[in-house]
A and B are shown apart, each in its own frame.
Chain A
């Protein structure tokens, strides 16, 4: 990555203004800069501790949702069907996308004091009714997009319901945005599987928070309700027992491993990002159940803090080491919490080494140090 030092210093409000008012070229560059700038936050916090974190924590949360409809076409974002403060429309996909984004915002704000996707009050944009027979939901780098599954097919041929039907899918997609504005984990192989796993973790926490469930009471299924009755399966993935979510004559069997010994090497699916995510998913489940209570309180906080600091190309081992050191920072060296994290990773075949992965983006380091001196001096 190449950065000019000016990118590190342009205040966010100026960049936002360029995004709103500038030429196309300026806008693209400013959007990129906002993204890159946000990547440096974790580094800055690590370097400056509370000094830099203070002003950001103090600002109030601003929840703003916009839902568009693609009207069964592929154009994004489409036409506005609902935005913040307006009443329910009666269209299931629209209202679920709106409510799910709200529940996700609330978890991030209440549990982690994060103000939306970029931690700066970014509008949460969703598009529903994307294409026809579209069995997918995704984050396109700027917004969430939801297909209607097979809802246009005859009932007996349907496999997927609309993708907004499961609140954890919405939490999963929005979390891809959070990750992009935090560590920006590279979407390939192990770092990609970690990116996926963070989305499943916080997606599941959104659901547990919404239902008021403890770690022990939660089902830890991702995408429960997505399958129609024609499919033999309880959901898309299981964090409690990866590999057991479905086993169906048409769709096949859930391919997720729960342990490093079953790690799948493949070039499909960006290096198996939706397959090997089963391993870190299960580690989080083991940690959350061991720590007890509401999973977002302790395990969730450890994972959230780690997401702000993890290197873009981190491996599973790096993630394990980082969560282990973060647990010591939050709960004390050799605390019960830290021991539980080590045991959780051990349960998926990873032995934590206690060493932190190297700090990334050294190109901007001098500028960051200067910024910190300006703020604190």
Chain B
């Protein structure tokens, strides 16, 4: 599974882009991340986006030849999707160091 998270907006308006290929992860981590991805994909996104300076996300998941793109504001993200995005950003950042 190939995962890409792009973040824009926020007070600073800076772009962040991280990519994770689960095939390159340790077996346990790969299972964990793919499980998180499955739960995140099934969770219900709200279009509510009140206020200002929130992050905006574009999440792309490529799995077995199919590509899915999820676009959402931070405020409308359900818990499982938030947890998934946080995990991918952490992994993406540490692999780029």
- Which A residues are closer than 8 A to B by beta carbons? 74, 135-142, 160, 163, 169, 172-173, 176, 179-180, 187, 195-196, 199, 223, 226, 236, 251-252, 255, 268-270, 273-275
With both chains docked as a complex, state the minimum distance between the C-beta of B52 and any C-beta of chain A, in angstroms.
4
Contact in complex: B51, A236 (CB < 8 Å): no
Point out the residues of chain A lying under 8 angstroms from B78, CB to CB. Answer: none
Whether, in the assembled complex, B9 has its beta carbon less than 8 Å from a beta carbon of chain A, the answer is yes
User: Which A residues are in CB contact (< 8 Å) with B52?
Assistant: 138-139, 173, 176, 179, 187, 195-196, 199
Contact, CB under 8 Å: B12 / A135: yes
Inter-chain contact B13/A274, CB cutoff 8 Å: yes
Give the top 4 A-B pairs by smallest Cβ distance, nearest first.
A274-B13, A141-B50, A268-B8, A138-B53
A251-B12 Cα distance, complex, nearest whole Å: 11
B30: Cβ under 8 A from any A Cβ: no
Option from A172, A176, A252, A273 in Cβ contact (under 8 Å) with B14? A252
What are some 23 contacts across the A-B interface (CB < 8 A)? A135-B10, A135-B12, A138-B10, A138-B54, A139-B51, A140-B75, A142-B51, A163-B11, A173-B11, A173-B53, A180-B51, A187-B52, A195-B52, A199-B52, A236-B11, A236-B12, A251-B14, A255-B13, A268-B15, A273-B13, A274-B9, A274-B11, A274-B13
Q: Given known contacts A268-B56, A269-B56, A270-B56, is B51 in contact with A141 (CB within 8 Å)?
A: yes
> CB within 8 Å of A: which residues of B?
6, 8-15, 49-56, 58, 75, 82
User: Which of B13, B52, B56, B75 has the most chain A CB atoms inside 10 A of its CB?
Assistant: B52
Main secondary structure of the interface of B (DSSP, over half): loop
Residue of B nearest to A140 (CB): B51
CA A255 to CA B51, docked complex, whole Å:
23
